[in-house]
RNA sequence: GGGCGAAUAGCUCAGCCGGUUCAGAGCGCCUGCCUUACACGCAGGAAGUCGGGGGUUCGAAUCCCUCUUCGCCCACCA
């Protein structure tokens, strides 16, 4: 031990130095430090790349803590643990952030132009990216920084091109003219997953469309009246008797002068609405299909911003879609064509980045044909190669795969991987070429080419990360060695965005699934169970917590609070009590360490091994055998919990061992041995050192800094030793010692019973009492351990196997029926205690009487609010119980 | 509309392939202690008809049904 340790754990003083030490020592590399190589099989975790939009929030704190726990655990178990960190360029999200920054300067991206804009984004992401990496370090993440990836780096961009062109060549990527989800604010297409459906209270209008020949009308129902301006037909079910005679006839579309046909189509549900559907092929996916089947024209009546376009009648042009909706309904009403309007709950799509209502829009986009990719990904789940924790999440995965739809991958953005397709400008040729490298000339006619303006969905690049981060498409050593990986730890929100697509991409490009287990952790929420978010202002910055209580306190709290499949609830208004468990425990560990270390100066005899002065088994006392057995049970518990991804259980088991067993009992038991008051000091030192060492290793994955700091100070450590690469403790079957557990357990029970008696009868804290016990414990343990019992319970004289006597005193009964008697004499004054209790009883009795009177008063019970009356009744009940308790206690003062 | 999950101490949650950690932990609360590792501590304590109702069983917080309330996922019924 170098310098004395402060009584209060100060994480700031050690964390950054230790992190630097680990990094320089090379413990994060899969093979470990060169002088401490690991030879075990690989264990690979790919970090879900945080978006470079902004700094990390508590959700990232949770996500990365869990990964780090698992990686550190497997690393200590000797595996070539590799945690690959990275960041995501986050196309649409990042572009939005930078556009908002520009807006503050009164600029739009169009003012800058594409190149200047992307330069601007680059400088932004370089800043946030650097901050993110520092944050991950502050959390203690043991990632291999030499392999850090960024989804928009040159290497990963090359992987994106390879993936795109490869799929294109297989016919799995195609360009098509379809209805897609369009965000009128972000001005881009979105995938189905990016259009978040939300149930909303809306309205459905029933509108009359007059028949062209004036012989009547047909009533259609719509939730989006503004799209009427783009109607090119009306559809009914072919078997619908009501409309049979109308099929093939025409209606005159109100507000326009168009004649549009009534067609019959199976897709129409006769039960819904009026059974007649207005068909707007340019603005609804179902209508698009119907229109195509019947050769109806598509009229796009909206601009990209969701204003009415030049294709709409002049008086509507330029109107916002909702304004247009009102105007259309107004006009129908004026014309007497509004049949009615009803409330209607329905799901409306919202942009997942800006929450704007999605507009289905007809446009040319790029798509991935998903069914062939989904099939083997579904297979992998069904045959058990891919499993989920918690298990039920697998059903969601399977359902999604079963109902997979083609993936729209083109985005009308500037920030992202440009689609690697070139169009020949030569009219006679017009060839479209997908290429892994930039091309200047059309490969067919040699004419000039123009690259597609669009970029790819950001998830197209992130789905490749499990192998692109290892060098793919090159066949690298890393790729051979570290693909496939093992555990994917992520939030359930991105199960479909990312996890499912990684599985498909892994199978498609590497022939195997990228990981075997998907661990989906919960969401960090506030006490009202709202997701922590910047916009709600209910977030807690993980770095604030690290600054206040240290990374270990943060990590412990997050791990302890996240049972499998549950959310983590934290109170942003009370950070201190939210993180108190972690902070308090770190401090406890620190002080237990301080105490043990201060007693380990000088040589410590080894507990095991081929040493001459090894401690013999028969030198161990009961407490020693007990703590060794408890330690061993804890090793088994923590190991099994981590293997089963029950991180909270692992943390709780280690916590119990350190606090309840080691600190509260063992350390208290050995104090006089350490001072030499009692024999067995060297054994106590050895056992304390050994069990504390094990406890530190068990806790290291969760609390890496403090455990390292303490572990390095244990005797026999070389300067460069690190707990990060110390072997994980193994349960030792020889340590099982049920006799010791039972016997020491009895000692604990007796000590606790005496302490309770002391407390209950007001014995002065320093006063030593006499105790008589009717038995002597399992195999006479009370006699064997009388020193321990007397000291921990402050007993002056312990008499065993004592029959009932004739003294005044207090008694208690142990679980097995053993009686414990504390004579009043010299401990407490029966008279005074009786008096005190009697007084208290009287006081309570009077209060109860008064309360009864109050409650029997009609004036009160009838006039006061019900909850007030209930509260008063509650009080009465409480007091009555207290009174009983006092009486019991007073009567406990007996002649034993 | 379909699927899934949750309701346990004031708060946040464990326990839930039925009966020896079965009613638990942490925070909060009450009482007493600065006992030479720790007041971010020590010792003791109060506190829950395990959401309501029904059923299966010798026995249910734990299994089944139902109701209520929350939450999540999915959905082209205009």
Q: Is the CB of A193 under 7 A from strand B?
A: yes
Give me the pLDDT at residue A896, please.
44
Give me the pLDDT at residue A894, please.
58
* CB-CB contact of A724 with A68 (8 Å): no
Alpha carbon distance, N-terminus to C-terminus of chain A: 54
A531 closest-nt by C1' vs CA: B71
Average pLDDT in chain A: 88
Condensed to tens digits (0 to 9), the pLDDT of residues A333-390 reads: 999 999 888 888 888 899 988 889 999 999 999 999 999 999 999 999 988 899 988 8
In this prediction the ipTM stands at: 0.92
Higher pLDDT, A708 or A354: A708
Q: Is the CB of A11 under 7 A from strand B?
A: no
Within 10 A of A833 (CB to CB), how many other CB atoms are there? 20
A312: DSSP letter: S
Using the predicted structure, report yes or no on whether residue A577 has a pLDDT greater than 90.
no
CA max distance for chain A:
119
Condensed to tens digits (0 to 9), the pLDDT of residues A602-611 reads: 778 877 776 7
Confidence of residue A1 (pLDDT cuts 50, 70, 90): very low
Q: Which residues pair with A795 in a beta bridge?
A: A769
Condensed to tens digits (0 to 9), the pLDDT of residues A417-463 reads: 999 999 999 888 888 999 999 999 998 888 899 999 999 999 999 99
Give me the pLDDT at residue A564, please.
80
A759 closest-nt by C1' vs CA: B44
Least confident of A1-5, A166-170, A319-323, A371-375: A1-5
Condensed to tens digits (0 to 9), the pLDDT of residues A19-48 reads: 999 999 999 999 988 888 788 899 999 999
Give me the pLDDT at residue A837, please.
67
Separation between Cα atoms, residue A162 and residue A510, nearest integer Å: 13
Length of chain A counted residue by residue? 896
Give me the pLDDT at residue A73, please.
95
Proportion of chain A above pLDDT 90, given as a percent = 57
Q: Which residue is nearest to nucleotide B46 (CA to C1')?
A: A882
Q: Is the CB of A222 under 7 A from strand B?
A: yes
Confidence of residue A685 (pLDDT cuts 50, 70, 90): very high
Confidence of residue A257 (pLDDT cuts 50, 70, 90): confident
DSSP per residue, A768-784: -EEEEESS--GGGHHHH
Least confident of A167-171, A269-273, A795-799, A855-859: A855-859
Q: Is the CB of A720 under 7 A from strand B?
A: no
The b/e string for A290-305 (b: 16+ C-beta within 10 A; e otherwise) is bbeebebebbbbbbee
Proportion of chain A above pLDDT 70, given as a percent = 95
Separation between Cα atoms, residue A805 and residue A555, nearest integer Å: 56
Give me the pLDDT at residue A446, please.
87
**What does the pLDDT average to over A50-68?**
90
B6 C1' to A566 CA distance, Å: 9
Six-digit token string for A254: 């109100």
Cα R_g (chain A), whole angstroms? 37
Six-digit token string for A431: 């060839």
**Which pairs with CB-CB distance under 8 Å and at least 24 residues apart come from A783-792?**
A784/A622, A785/A622, A785/A743, A785/A744, A785/A747, A787/A672, A787/A678, A788/A623, A788/A669, A788/A747, A788/A751, A789/A747, A789/A750, A789/A751, A789/A754, A791/A672, A792/A668, A792/A669, A792/A751
**What does the pLDDT average to over A318-334?**
92
Give me the pLDDT at residue A833, please.
66
Q: Is the CB of A396 under 7 A from strand B?
A: yes
Using the predicted structure, report yes or no on whether residue A469 has a pLDDT greater than 90.
yes
Q: Which residue is nearest to nucleotide B47 (CA to C1')?
A: A878
HSE-up of A300 (CA within 13 Å, CB side)?
Answer: 14
**What does the pLDDT average to over A512-521?**
93
Separation between Cα atoms, residue A76 and residue A290, nearest integer Å: 61
Separation between Cα atoms, residue A599 and residue A45, nearest integer Å: 40
Give me the pLDDT at residue A804, please.
61
Give me the pLDDT at residue A754, please.
92
Six-digit token string for A756: 């309770």
Condensed to tens digits (0 to 9), the pLDDT of residues A558-568 reads: 998 888 878 88
Q: Is the CB of A493 under 7 A from strand B?
A: yes
B33 C1' to A129 CA distance, Å: 52
DSSP per residue, A624-684: HHHHHHHHHHHHHHHHHHHHTT-HHHHHHHHHIIIIIIIIIIIIHHHHHHHHTSSS-HHHH
**What does the pLDDT average to over A83-88?**
95
Burial-class residue A337 by CB neighbours within 10 Å (0-12, 13-18, 19+).
middle
A762 closest-nt by C1' vs CA: B32
Sheet of A250-252: strand order equals: A250-252, A259-264, A233-236, A276-279
Give me the pLDDT at residue A4, please.
64
Condensed to tens digits (0 to 9), the pLDDT of residues A718-752 reads: 888 999 999 999 887 777 788 898 899 999 999 99
Give me the pLDDT at residue A52, please.
87
Q: Is the CB of A547 under 7 A from strand B?
A: no
Using the predicted structure, report yes or no on whether residue A3 has a pLDDT greater than 60.
no
* CB-CB contact of A282 with A306 (8 Å): no
B9 C1' to A752 CA distance, Å: 23
Using the predicted structure, report yes or no on whether residue A895 has a pLDDT greater than 60.
no
Q: Is the CB of A59 under 7 A from strand B?
A: no
Q: Is the CB of A712 under 7 A from strand B?
A: no
Give me the pLDDT at residue A882, please.
66
Place of tokens 């007990």: A626
Nearest to A305 by CA among A367, A349, A361: A361
Give me the pLDDT at residue A2, please.
46
Using the predicted structure, report yes or no on whether residue A853 has a pLDDT greater than 90.
no
Using the predicted structure, report yes or no on whether residue A138 has a pLDDT greater than 80.
yes
């Amino acid at each position: 031990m170098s310098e004395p340790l402060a009584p209060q754990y100060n994480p700031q003083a050690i964390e950054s130095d230790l992190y630097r030490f680990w990094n320089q020592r090379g413990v994060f590399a899969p093979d470990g430090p060169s002088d401490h190589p690991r030879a075990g099989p690989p264990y690979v975790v790919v970090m879900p790349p945080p978006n470079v939009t902004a700094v990390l929030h508590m959700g990232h704190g949770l996500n990365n803590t869990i990964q780090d726990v698992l990686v550190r655990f497997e690393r200590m178990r000797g595996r070539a643990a590799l945690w690959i960190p990275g960041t995501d360029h986050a196309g649409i999200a990042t572009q939005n952030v930078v556009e908002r920054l520009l807006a503050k300067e009164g600029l739009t991206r169009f003012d800058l132009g594409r190149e200047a804009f992307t330069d601007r984004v680059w400088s932004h992401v370089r800043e946030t990216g650097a901050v993110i990496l520092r944050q991950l370090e502050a959390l203690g993440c043991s990632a291999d920084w030499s392999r850090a990836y960024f989804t928009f780096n040159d290497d990963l961009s090359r992987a994106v091109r390879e993936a795109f062109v490869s799929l294109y060549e297989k016919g799995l990527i195609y360009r098509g003219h379809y209805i897609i989800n369009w965000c009128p604010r972000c001005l881009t297409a979105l995938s189905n997953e990016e259009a978040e459906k939300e149930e909303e209270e809306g309205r459905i209008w029933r509108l009359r469309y007059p028949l062209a020949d004036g012989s009547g009308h047909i009533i259609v129902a719509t939730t989006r009246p503004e799209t009427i301006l783009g109607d090119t037909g009306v559809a009914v079910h072919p078997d619908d008797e009501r409309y049979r005679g109308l099929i093939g006839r025409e209606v005159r579309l109100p507000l326009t002068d168009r004649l549009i046909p009534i067609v019959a189509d199976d897709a129409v549900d006769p039960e819904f609405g009026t059974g007649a559907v207005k068909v707007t092929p340019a603005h609804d996916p179902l209508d698009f299909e119907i229109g195509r089947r019947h050769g109806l024209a598509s009229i796009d009546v909206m601009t990209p911003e969701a204003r009415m376009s030049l294709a709409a009648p002049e008086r509507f042009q330029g109107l916002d879609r909702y304004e247009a909706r009102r105007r259309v309904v107004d006009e129908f009403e004026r014309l007497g064509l509004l049949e009615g309007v009803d409330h209607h709950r329905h799901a409306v799509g919202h942009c997942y980045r800006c929450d704007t209502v999605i507009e289905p829009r007809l446009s040319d986009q790029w798509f991935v044909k998903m069914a062939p990719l989904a099939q083997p990904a579904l297979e992998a789940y069904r045959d058990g190669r891919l499993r989920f924790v918690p298990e039920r999440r697998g059903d969601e995965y399977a359902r999604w795969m079963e109902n997979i739809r083609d993936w729209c991958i083109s985005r009308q953005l500037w920030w992202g991987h440009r689609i690697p397709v070139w169009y020949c400008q030569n009219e006679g040729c017009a060839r479209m070429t997908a290429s892994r490298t930039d091309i200047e000339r059309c490969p067919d006619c040699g004419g000039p080419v123009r690259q597609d303006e669009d970029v790819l969905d950001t998830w197209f690049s992130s789905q490749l990360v499990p192998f692109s981060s290892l060098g793919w498409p090159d066949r690298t050593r890393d790729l051979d060695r570290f693909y496939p990986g093992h555990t994917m730890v992520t939030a359930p929100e991105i199960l479909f965005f990312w996890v499912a697509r990684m599985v498909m991409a892994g199978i498609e490009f590497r022939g195997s699934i990228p990981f075997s287990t998907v661990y989906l952790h919960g969401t960090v929420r506030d006490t009202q169970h709202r997701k922590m978010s910047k916009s709600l202002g209910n977030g807690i910055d993980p770095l604030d917590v690290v600054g206040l209580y240290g990374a270990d306190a943060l990590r412990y709290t997050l791990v302890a609070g996240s049972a499998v499949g549950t959310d983590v609830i934290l109170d942003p208004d009370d950070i201190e009590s939210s993180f108190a468990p972690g902070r308090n425990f770190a401090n406890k560990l620190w002080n237990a360490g301080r105490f043990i270390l201060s007693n380990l100066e000088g040589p410590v005899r080894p507990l095991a091994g081929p040493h001459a002065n090894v401690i013999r088994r028969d030198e161990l006392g009961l407490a020693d055998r007990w703590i060794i057995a408890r330690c061993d049970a804890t090793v088994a518990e923590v190991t099994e919990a981590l293997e089963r991804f029950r991180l909270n259980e692992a943390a709780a088991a280690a916590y119990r061992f350190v606090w309840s067993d080691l600190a509260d009992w063992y350390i208290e038991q050995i104090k006089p041995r350490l001072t030499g008051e009692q024999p067995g000091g060297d054994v106590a030192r050895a056992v304390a050192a050994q069990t504390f060492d094990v406890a530190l290793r068990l806790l290291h994955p969760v609390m890496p800094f403090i455990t390292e700091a303490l572990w390095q100070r244990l005797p026999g450590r070389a300067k460069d030793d690190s707990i990060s690469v110390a072997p994980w403790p193994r349960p030792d079957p020889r340590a099982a010692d049920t006799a010791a557990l039972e016997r020491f357990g009895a000692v604990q029970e007796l000590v606790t019973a005496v302490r309770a008696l002391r407390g209950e009868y007001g014995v002065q804290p320093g006063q030593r009492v006499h105790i008589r016990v009717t038995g002597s414990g399992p195999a006479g343990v009370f006699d064997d351990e009388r020193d321990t019992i007397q000291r921990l319970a402050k007993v002056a004289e312990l008499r065993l196997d004592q029959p009932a006597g004739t003294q005044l005193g207090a008694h208690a009964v142990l679980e097995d029926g053993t009686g414990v008697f504390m004579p009043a004499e010299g401990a407490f004054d029966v008279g005074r205690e009786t008096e005190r209790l009697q007084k208290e009883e009287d006081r309570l009795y009077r209060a109860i009487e008064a309360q009864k009177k109050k409650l029997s008063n009609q004036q009160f019970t009838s006039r006061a609010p019900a909850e007030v009356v209930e509260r008063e009744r509650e009080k009465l009940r409480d007091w009555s119980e207290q009174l009983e308790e006092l009486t019991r206690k007073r009567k406990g003062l007996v002649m034993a």
